[in-house]
Amino acid sequence: MSPIAPPRGTRDLLPAEAPAWRWFLETHAAVAGRHGYQLIDTPVFEATELFARGVGSGTDIVDKEMYTFVDRGGRSMTLRPEGTAPVLRAVLGAHLEQQRRPVRVYYAMAMFRYDRPQAGRQREFHQVGVEVIGERDPCYDAEVIEVAWRFMAELRIDGVELQLNSLGDSDDRLRYRAALVAYYTPLRESLCEDCQRRLDVNPLRLLDCKKDAKYNENAPLIGDHLSEASREYFDSVARHLDDAGIPYTRNQRLVRGLDYYAHTAFEFWHRSLQGAQNALGGGGRYDGLADELGFAATPGVGYALGIERLLTVAADQGVAPAPQPPAQLVICTTGGASAAEGRRLARELRNRTSVVADLTDRRLEKKLRDADRLGALLALLVGLDEGLVLRNLRTGVQQVVSADTVLDAVSAELLQAAQGPTA
Ligand code: AMP
């Protein structure tokens, strides 16, 4: 029998990667928290309808990538492919927007999309994101961009490029859609199969196609179809970003081709990520989404960033924390009554650092070798004739300590190790 493999397109988080993962989530929570955002979480699966309506037909996610199943009660369920629709459902379902406006929330959640796995693309992946729900003002569009920007700066990730566009309002998009149809219809036979379908269902998505990129070069631009009010909205977002010192590139080909998106659309790109997978994340304004989900019309804006992709960049740039040993100190007992004493010392020392206790009957040399393999800095030998012996496993230097001085001696060793290598 062959051992069971993980499902294709999934990854395990192994302990060596845990410090980077925790650093990432804690930094995001801290940055979002400092901007007034509170944690929200939603179910891993939802009624399929939430995403069918909340992401929309004509998108790859809904048309090709959803993990949909019928549960034992005969209901169609889908594993969460994105966070905005479920978060909006949760906030409006709990009437949070009636208590205060806007509602600011952040999340860190697993997402599921049935896609061909490749570098930077998994079937289960993770995103952090924020949503500002209940107000429509350019300052909030700029605010969410600023939270993402400050977050990536705090991770010390270099070289992030902000791509910014306006999708206007629904009237603007109707005009733009007509211009796109007029431009692409004579080209129909030359377009790829997907794009021929997009031309009928969702012409804005034509601009996304990598295969037909050569036709997109001369396609009409949304900027030429924006009303005065939409132009002003975009300019105002841009002014807020200028004030915040956040540079951006206007990218008129950046589209989210759904009716309930409005005005701001943005992506964060990184030059080290190749091809179609160069986006670290993105977001935008979705003023028509609440209505689409059956709630009273409520504006909102937010972003989602891919954790795995950002961690890849962080690792490449050497800014992610290194793997950590499971414990800094190993208590090695030597038989007899030393196990009880070892246990007591372990409890006490855990107020200061991470401690494992080796209470087995094995020989001391074996225990020390294992403590070294564990990557611990210190071993405390308990039950020897000379008393408690604290050994620095990196330098090999030992000192005899007493029950009263052991905590201070351990603290001093940890401090010295933190300050630099002891040659
Ligand atoms: P989206 O919700 O499609 O705008 O995706 C936002 C971000 O999530 C992307 O820029 C990626 O960083 C990440 N992401 C999206 N899909 C995947 C995937 N299949 N595998 C890994 N990361 C993904």
Same domain, 398 and 337: yes
CA of 141 to the centre of ligand 1 (A): 20
Residue 276 pLDDT more than 80?
no
pLDDT at 176: 93
Whole-structure pTM value: 0.93
| CA distance readout (Å), 266 to 86, 90, 103, 283, 301 | 20, 24, 21, 5, 11
Closest residue CA from atom 21 of ligand 1: 121
| 237/234 Cα distance (integer angstroms) | 5
Containing structural domain, residue 40:
15-169+227-316
Ligand 1 atom, smallest distance to 115 CA? 19
| CA distance readout (Å), 348 to 318, 342, 353 | 35, 10, 10
For the segment 111-159, what is each residue's pLDDT rounded down to a tens digit?
Answer: 999 999 998 899 999 999 999 999 999 999 999 999 999 999 999 999 9
| CA distance readout (Å), 147 to 84, 176, 288, 330 | 16, 31, 23, 41
Same domain, 161 and 301: yes
The arithmetic mean of pLDDT across residues 337-348, rounded, is: 96
| Domain boundary, last residue among 316, 351, 379 | 316
Same domain, 257 and 342: no
Residue from 55, 115, 121, 269 whose mutation best tests the ligand 1 pocket (most atoms within 8 A of CB): 121
Same domain, 62 and 148: yes
| 386/122 Cα distance (integer angstroms) | 57
Task: Show the tokens assigned to 369.
Answer: 């070798």
CA of 281 to the centre of ligand 1 (A): 6
* Contact by Cβ (8 Å): 40, 106: yes
Same domain, 23 and 104: yes
Same domain, 132 and 101: yes
Instruction: Please indicate, yes or no, if residue 203 is contained in any of the structural domains.
Output: no
| Domain boundary, last residue among 259, 286, 316 | 316
Annotated binding site for L-histidine: 82-84, 113, 127, 131, 256, 260-261
* Contact by Cβ (8 Å): 87, 132: no
Residues with C-beta less than 6 Å from any ligand 1 atom:
82, 113, 115, 120-122, 125, 127, 279-282, 304, 306, 308-309
Same domain, 142 and 40: yes
The type of residue at 19 is P
What CATH number should be reported for the domain holding residue 403? 3.40.50.800
Bridge partners, residue 121, by sequence: 118
For the segment 301-341, what is each residue's pLDDT rounded down to a tens digit?
Answer: 999 999 999 999 999 999 999 999 999 999 999 988 999 99
Annotated binding site: 82-84, 113, 127, 131, 256, 260-261
Structural domain tally of the chain? Answer: 2
What CATH number should be reported for the domain holding residue 109? 3.30.930.10
The arithmetic mean of pLDDT across residues 393-417, rounded, is: 96
For the segment 174-220, what is each residue's pLDDT rounded down to a tens digit?
Answer: 999 999 999 999 999 998 988 898 898 888 888 878 787 788 888 99
